[in-house]
């Protein structure tokens, strides 16, 4: 058994040795997802889906609290609808999956498998909206999406993935802009509160914005290997789609006007972000708020433990669950306690509770934190309060640790040599002046493989000349290598 236990843990490649392989090892060994016979598609296994459900529930609550309602639109979109918005088609054309046959019959018009839903939703909004009294329309949908990716990685980039996409229509440009920034703020608060993942919010450059949008904003997180990951976007669509799909309304002054639209979304990519933000060489470290099990109980099988230890463990489990704690009691006999410790560490459970005959005699249990591995003997009569306190402490500690990592891996510079050297060595964010030129942005990417992740909201004046061309800088941009 000891050899088997050791092999089980060693299957995870150390992060420092090969971060990408470590990530894939964790996804598979923790049974979050698995590969399928369909190229680029994954199965989200129950443990991984439980994480997504917790994310979905907490974000759905926030979406509804801001006045939005859920609906569902078809996953098949007629080609003629997608062709109406040229910029949109150009942006997604290489990734579109087509349906050409229904049964044995060739379709008169090809259907697109939903890469995003602006076209079909815009068509329906044009039917539903007649007057300013119909506005705002605040609809969200939870759905699957298909984009024919060439290079895939579980959760981060797959051919099919799960997401939510909000689509709203407003009476004025100012209302649409306020909505765009409000939902960006909802995403930021959700990521930092629920996922313990610090993010930077800002605006995408024109070359990086969503096809068909007037403005695109994003939240960006820094992963454990120093690469950035876009984990949420919010788009001000202006009137671009409204004009294409004839979303008009009679205004208060009786004139006919086009609506002002937004769209915004996050996806199962968030699971990958949590893995890469918090994990270590032993596997996952899950923030308590999105951990399927917040506490794993491991009874020590000595003597007649099923008659002595197990009843106490079951009672504690019921008490914890009665206070809203998600608990797993691992009473399997085929595995040793040490094997269970390693497995549940790999699965990232925030707290381990060990209980054996000696603990019962001393009226205490042993609590072990996943993030620090600190062992905390805890009297049974203080257990409920202590568990609640520790879950809060772990959630905050993970966030603080991620903030510290980001600060340690953020360089502000006006020196081009230092700028280039930073991307050759230590990764992370590099904040540097940019003149606003797409040519400079393209040249920097070609030289360093780094992109402008976004421009800060309400930025101060640039700190110097453009890092590429030397002309006066317009803004200090956040550059990074990214996923």
Is residue 8 predicted with pLDDT exceeding 50? Answer: no
**pLDDT tens column, 270-305:** 999 999 999 999 999 999 999 999 999 999 988 888
Q: What phi and psi, each to the nearest 5 degrees, are found at residue 350?
A: -60, -40
398-454 pLDDT, tens per residue?
Answer: 999 999 999 999 999 999 999 999 999 778 999 999 999 999 999 999 999 999 999
Give percent above pLDDT 70 in the chain. 97
Contacts of 206 (CB under 8 A, 6+ apart): 438
- Backbone angles phi and psi of 478, in degrees to 5: -95, 110
Distance (Å, rounded) from C-alpha 32 to C-alpha 411?
34
Each residue's pLDDT tens digit, 156-208: 999 999 999 999 999 999 999 999 999 999 999 999 999 999 999 999 999 99
* Helix/strand/coil for 345: helix
Residue 466 scores a pLDDT above 80 = yes
Mean pLDDT over 333-348 rounds to 95
The band of 83, judged by pLDDT with boundaries at 50, 70 and 90, is confident
pLDDT tens digit string along 249-258? 999 999 999 9
- The two tokens of residue 205 are 């450059």
> What's the rounded Cα separation, in Å, for the pair 342 and 460?
48
Which DSSP helix (H) or strand (E) runs through 380? none
- For residue 139, whether the previous peptide bond is cis, meaning omega lies within 30 degrees of 0, is no
CA geometry: angle 281, 283, 289, nearest 5 deg: 130
Q: What percent of the chain has pLDDT over 90?
A: 90
What pLDDT sits at residue 265?
Answer: 98
| Cα angle 443-444-447, degrees, rounded to a multiple of 5 | 85
Which alpha helices (H) appear in 224-297, and where do they start and end? 240-245, 269-278
What pLDDT score was predicted for residue 85?
A: 76
Length in residues, the chain: 483
Q: Give the single-character DSSP code of 94.
A: G
Token output for 138: 């605040």
pLDDT of amino acid 1? 32
- Give 17-51 as a DSSP string: T-HHHHHHHHHHHTTSEEE-SSTT-EEE-HHHHHH
104 burial level (CB within 10 Å; 0-12, 13-18, 19+)? exposed
Beta carbons within 8 Å of 316's beta carbon, 6+ residues apart:
297, 353, 355, 365, 380, 383
Predicted local confidence at residue 117, as pLDDT:
94
The pTM (predicted TM-score) of the whole model is: 0.95
Q: What is the pLDDT of residue 350?
A: 98
pLDDT band at 372 (very low <50, low <70, confident <90, very high): very high
Buried b (16+ CB within 10 A) or exposed e, 235-267: bbbbbbbbebbebbbeeeeeeebbbbbbbbbbb
pLDDT of residue 6: 39
Q: What tokens does 168 get? A: 């709203």
Per-residue confidence (pLDDT) for residue 46, from 0 to 100: 98
Tokens of 480: 């990074």
The strand pairing partners of 370, in sequence order, are none
State residue 308's pLDDT score.
87
Question: What is the reported pLDDT for 154?
Answer: 96
User: Given this model, what pLDDT does residue 363 score?
Assistant: 94
For residue 176, the 8-state DSSP code is H
- Which tokens go with 317? 């489990």
Query: Tens digit of pLDDT for each residue in 85-143?
Result: 777 667 777 889 999 999 999 999 999 999 999 999 999 999 999 999 999 999 999 99
According to DSSP H, which parts of 323-374 are helical?
A: 337-346, 357-362
Q: How many angstroms separate the CA atoms of 386 and 371, rounded?
A: 16
Q: For residues 227-251, give the mean pLDDT.
A: 97
E strands within 306-362?
327-329, 351-355
Query: What are the φ and ψ backbone dihedral angles of 398, each rounded to 5 degrees?
Result: -65, -40
Higher pLDDT, 93 or 35: 35
Task: Give the 3-state DSSP-derived string for 196-226, with helices as H, strands as E and coil as C.
Answer: CCCCEEEECCCCCCCCCCCEEEEEEEECCCC
CA 408 – CA 422 distance, rounded (Å): 13
Mean pLDDT of 33-41: 93
pLDDT in tens, 385-407: 999 999 999 999 999 999 999 99
Looking at residues 26-34, what average pLDDT do you find?
A: 96
Question: CA 182, CA 174: separation in Å to the nearest integer?
Answer: 12
3-state secondary structure string, 156-172? CECCEEEEEEEEEEECC
């Amino acid at each position: 058994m000891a050899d088997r236990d050791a092999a089980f843990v060693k299957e995870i490649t150390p992060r420092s040795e090969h971060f990408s392989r470590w990530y894939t090892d964790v996804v598979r060994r923790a049974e979050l997802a698995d590969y399928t016979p369909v190229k680029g598609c994954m199965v989200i296994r129950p443990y991984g889906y439980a994480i997504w459900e917790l994310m979905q529930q907490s974000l759905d609550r926030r979406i509804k609290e801001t006045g939005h309602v859920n609906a569902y639109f078809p996953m098949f979109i007629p080609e003629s609808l997608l062709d109406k918005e040229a910029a949109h088609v150009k942006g997604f054309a290489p990734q579109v999956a087509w349906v050409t046959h229904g049964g044995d019959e060739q379709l008169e018009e090809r259907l697109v498998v939903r890469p995003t839903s602006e076209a079909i939703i815009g068509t329906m909004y044009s039917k539903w909206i007649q007057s300013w009294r119909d506005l705002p329309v605040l609809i969200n949908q939870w759905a699957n999406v298909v984009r024919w990716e060439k290079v895939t990685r579980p959760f981060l980039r797959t051919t099919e993935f799960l997401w939510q996409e909000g689509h709203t229509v407003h009476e004025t440009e100012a209302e649409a802009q306020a909505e765009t920034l409000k939902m960006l703020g909802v995403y930021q608060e959700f990521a930092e509160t629920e996922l313990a993942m610090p993010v930077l919010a800002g605006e995408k450059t024109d070359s990086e914005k969503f096809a068909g949008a007037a403005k695109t904003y994003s939240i960006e997180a820094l992963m454990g290997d120093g690469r950035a990951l876009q984990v949420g976007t919010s788009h001000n669509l202006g009137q671009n789609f409204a004009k294409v799909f004839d979303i008009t309304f009679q205004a208060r002054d009786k004139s006919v006007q086009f609506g002002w639209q937004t769209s915004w979304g996050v996806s199962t990519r968030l699971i990958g972000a949590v893995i890469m933000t918090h994990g270590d060489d032993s596997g996952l470290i899950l923030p308590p708020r999105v951990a399927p099990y917040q506490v794993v109980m491991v009874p020590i099988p000595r003597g007649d433990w099923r008659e002595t230890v197990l009843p106490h463990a079951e009672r504690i489990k019921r008490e914890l669950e009665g206070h809203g704690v998600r608990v797993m009691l691992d009473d399997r006999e085929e595995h040793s306690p040490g094997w269970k410790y390693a497995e549940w560490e790999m699965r990232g459970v925030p707290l381990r509770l060990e209980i054996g005959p000696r603990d019962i005699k001393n009226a205490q249990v042993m609590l072990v934190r996943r993030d620090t591995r600190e062992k905390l003997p805890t009297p049974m009569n203080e257990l409920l309060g202590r568990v609640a306190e520790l879950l809060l402490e772990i959630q905050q500690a993970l966030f603080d640790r991620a903030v510290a990592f980001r600060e340690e891996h953020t360089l502000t510079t006006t020196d081009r040599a230092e700028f280039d050297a930073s991307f050759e060595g230590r990764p992370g964010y590099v904040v540097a002046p940019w003149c606003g030129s797409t040519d400079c942005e393209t040249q920097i990417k070609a030289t360093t493989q780094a992109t402008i992740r976004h421009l800060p909201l309400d930025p101060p004046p640039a700190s110097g000349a453009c890092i590429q061309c030397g002309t006066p800088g317009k803004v200090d941009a956040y550059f990074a290598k990214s996923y």
